[in-house]
Chains A and B, each alone.
Chain A
């Protein structure tokens, strides 16, 4: 009796472990299998050539996601441009300078920032940041790529700070002592020794932040304006890949080409974030540079 329970529990736990792999491959499989009708009907190329996303157009619907890829990278790179320096500097402060009580207090606060729902940040972008941007640049509306970039940057900050802090803390004290013993100042030690030694960890933090930024949906949906045209500056309205799915998912006809085209967008989004996360994963889990 006992050995039967033993065996059953063993199988249950084993299946639970397998389930995780099944879920990830299941998502990929669902995206692929639902994309195939779109690929056979439209082809692969029309999704990526220059053009517009007009699934409802009479006669000749077009499904180019070209501008959405541009929009996604504008928002993402704009976000990282300020979130990475700010996040790494904050992480360096937490790890190298802050007193223990400061760390005890500030780290949970940063985690709270990570917990603010994206729809709330989007709301703040609409009611606070948009009027501010409009006034600052003298434009009629502050609903644009810049607004999205700022908010998505705020959203990526906790990821970057937490992981960069881990990376900087993991640098052995010997490095710092050696630098200080050679007459290096505190600033030189942080800037020229500690941060470079934590470089691969900081890169991984940046990439995971980037993965989060690319996949972010509600915030950009609410504050970037979602125009399908190609943006020419950060003050233009843009639509991202994720926002495009969110906009169309509500009233798309099940089984239509439009429906399947949305899975193509999802597939592209999945693959981009998958590759980025995989690279970050390899960076984090490779042997620390210290051992070389």
Chain B
């Protein structure tokens, strides 16, 4: 059925119908052109700035020279904390929803909360992080406060990915293990989780990408304008790539002079996020294909 529908597509569109065909086709092309343009603009204007010093040196002379090393390191640290918070919790919640809970009103409520959590504006996470992690818990503006804030924001991504991975493990595997006398935790630990690893990894990478690109939640929870040193504990403030780009394009005293640095920062950030997202997409495709083949 489906194959027939796809055959000779152009031939089926005749005369004035072709206008409609091209209308839809050009819509998709326009979206791709917008994306292509953004990537091209950043790449072509940012590549000239990128060199060894830019990647490995700290900003100098009032941030008009030097590199973005502290921002790269800061983003690295904060995303590690984010993932350390969001992945175990997200996987555990997914295991609860998929392996332990009896499906009913309560699981529906959890799932609904999860979807609404995904829709909470990022700046509201920032407010929450400032009130709870920075003030109430007394972390102060720090890596850990920002990491936890981003962790909450990332949680729906990791739970959803983990759940999708758990669902793809065939029911028969569980039934077989239960029949052999295994307990539920043994089944989860030895049968279900090992097969769900690629899916959980996908969720982890997507979470990393999401956390690395967010700016609003870290504005008041730990990101710093400029630090002459690298963070040395989880209580330190930090510089971050997206926040650095924000500063270099709107807050710096000599915007025109630092424009190339802004482009360079944007290029590093976009490259990082795109590589992570692409890796997640490819990984997911691989295990979906595997599942589709019934392996």
Q: Which residues of A contact B (CB under 8 A)?
A: 2-3, 5-6, 9-10, 12-14, 16-21, 23-27, 30-31, 34, 85-87, 89-90, 92-94, 96-100, 106, 108-124, 126-128, 154, 157, 161, 173, 176-177, 185-187, 190-191, 208, 211-212, 214-218, 222, 242, 245-246, 249-250, 254, 262-263, 266, 269-270, 273-274, 276-278, 281
Contact = CB atoms under 8 A, between A and B. Distances in A.
A6 to B, nearest CB: 5
Contacts of A124: 38, 41-42
A58 to B, nearest CB: 25
A123 B266 contact: yes
Interface in B168-222: 183-185, 188, 209, 212-216, 219-220
Nearest to A33: B131
Nearest to B217: A217
Given A93-B24, A115-B277, A124-B38, A17 B96 contact: yes
B249 A20 contact: no
Given A112-B278, A281-B115, A34 B249 contact: no
Contact of A120 (B114, B118, B250, B269): B269
Nearest to A185: B17
Given A6-B184, A120-B270, A173-B1, A21 B245 contact: no
What DSSP secondary structure best describes chain A's contact surface? helix
A278 B243 CA distance: 31
Given A21-B113, A116-B35, A126-B250, 14 more contacts: A16-B96, A20-B93, A26-B128, A27-B117, A86-B30, A96-B24, A109-B35, A117-B212, A117-B214, A119-B246, A123-B245, A217-B121, A249-B220, A277-B118
27 contacts: A20-B159, A24-B113, A26-B132, A27-B120, A30-B127, A30-B128, A85-B27, A109-B32, A111-B277, A115-B274, A116-B270, A117-B270, A120-B38, A120-B242, A123-B249, A123-B262, A126-B250, A186-B12, A186-B13, A186-B17, A187-B21, A208-B119, A215-B124, A250-B220, A269-B124, A274-B119, A274-B120
A115 to B, nearest CB: 4
A16 B92 CA distance: 6
B121 A242 contact: yes
B266 A112 contact: no
Contact of B126 (A128, A245, A278): A245
B9 interface: yes
A121 B245 CA distance: 11
B176 to A, nearest CB: 19
B227 interface: no
B281 A108 contact: yes
Nearest to B30: A86
A19 B128 CA distance: 16
Nearest to A154: B34
Contact of A14 (B17, B100, B135, B276): B100
A274 B184 CA distance: 36
A215 B122 contact: yes
Interface in B38-77: 38, 41-42
Contacts of B130: 249
Given A215-B123, A246-B123, A13 B100 contact: yes
B249 A222 contact: yes
